[in-house]
Amino acid sequence: MEPVNIGSGEEISIKELALTVARIVGYEGRFEHDLSKPDGTPRKLLDTSRIEALGWQPRIRLEDGLRDVYRNWLEETAGSVAA
């Protein structure tokens, strides 16, 4: 059995992903790029061809999925985090 990637099929840069998550969670800080690690992966795109061959297609955009997961996390943890 081989792994099957499940993803949105959307290519996104690490910077775009960080900014998207920051916007969703309301983060207003800043990001610093570690220039000592220039060989890092600047973009991400899962190869979803195997799962698509099985008939599966993404129905939720990456940003929408991240927003839904964050909202769900907030609802699930409401009241369980000490103030």
For the ranges 3-12, 30-39, 70-79, the one whose mean pLDDT is highest = 70-79
Instruction: State yes or no: pLDDT of 79 exceeds 70.
Output: no
Convert the pLDDT of each residue in 15-73 to its tens digit: 899 999 999 999 999 998 888 876 767 777 778 888 889 898 888 888 999 999 999 99
Task: Count Cβ atoms below 10 Å from residue 8 Cβ, excluding itself.
Answer: 18
Candidates 11, 33, 24, 12; CA nearest to 74 is 24
Rg (CA), the chain: 16
Instruction: State yes or no: pLDDT of 83 exceeds 60.
Output: no
Give the residue extent of every domain in the chain: 12-77
